[in-house]
Amino acid sequence: MSRLAQAFARARAENRAAFVAYLCAGDPDFDTSLAACRTLLDHGVDVLELGVPFSDPLADGLTNQLAAQRALESGMTAARVLELVRRIREFSEVPVVFYTYYNLVFTNGVESYVRAAKAAGVDGLLTLDLPPEEADELVTACRRHAVDTVFIVAPTTPEARIARIARAATGFIYYVSREGVTGVRNQVAANIPEAVARIRRHTDLPVAVGFGISTRAQVAQVAAQADGVVVGSALVNCISGHLGQPGKITQALSAVCSDLAIGVKRLSSNGHG
């Protein structure tokens, strides 16, 4: 069983959703980023989603765009991102999923990129701008090297495409609960129960829900329906709010992460846990 499958199975056995946390690799610099990742992993995170910094992050809102810009300006490269994963693997077996864009994979050669990612300790690839219809080369390479593939379902995805997406995925399905880009929202999208049920008709893979989830109450609302809850911008804000103060970054992340982790616990069985 892969590390990702184990993480979701463990959460299910404990009657809770898996806590999937996003940070941009190298934000605001390598050492602070490593400390930030360690802090998350020490405070209840089940899956670490690492954004690979990119100059044109079209799926990301301003918070994550600026995080990518800070990382790139500090000297993060594809090689440094892999080094970050290797350093994380020195103290943690928590699954790591790359949140990336296809240009970063393609320019390095799909096969060699996947091989290098696996060797560093990466468990899965979520390639945001690569639809499953065009992903055969990546899917083949990932299966060859035992790297899970994660694909996105959006509120606008037609039923027929969900089945196609599910066939290409091996790790989990990422349901993007809102149209548009990442970012903190005041309330959770209303259609999550129906959307998750629709996805589950096509796959037994875990369904994680993200985009716009930033408070413990919102996490709890989503955890009642989904197998995983993804939080990103609320954690990235802990970094951007304390730039140049690494100690305060880890303090803020500890507090926010601990609070959010409480939300994934379900009060009673809902049939999915």
CB under 8 A, 24+ apart: contacts of 156-161: 159/198
Q: Which residues contact 45 (CB under 8 A, 6 or more apart)?
A: 19, 20, 21, 94, 257, 261
Q: Can you list the alpha helix ranges (DSSP code H) found in 14-92? A: 30-41, 62-73, 78-89
Token duo for residue 267: 């009060």
State the Cα–Cα distance between residues 50 and 64, nearest whole angstrom. 11
H or E element, residue 8: helix 3-13
171 phi-psi bin (left φ>0, alpha ψ -120 to 50, beta other):
alpha
> Which residues, 6 or more positions from 251, have their beta carbon under 8 angstroms from its beta carbon?
none
Distance between first and last Cα of the chain: 19
Contacts of 199 (CB under 8 A, 6+ apart): 153, 162, 166, 173, 175, 207
What is the rounded distance in angstroms from the CA atom of residue 60 to the CA atom of residue 236? 12
Whether residue 176 contacts residue 155, with contact meaning beta carbons closer than 8 Å, is answered with: yes
Q: How many other CB atoms are found less than 10 A from the CB of residue 197?
A: 12
Kindly list the catalytic residues.
49, 60
Write out the two tokens for 234. Answer: 């609320």
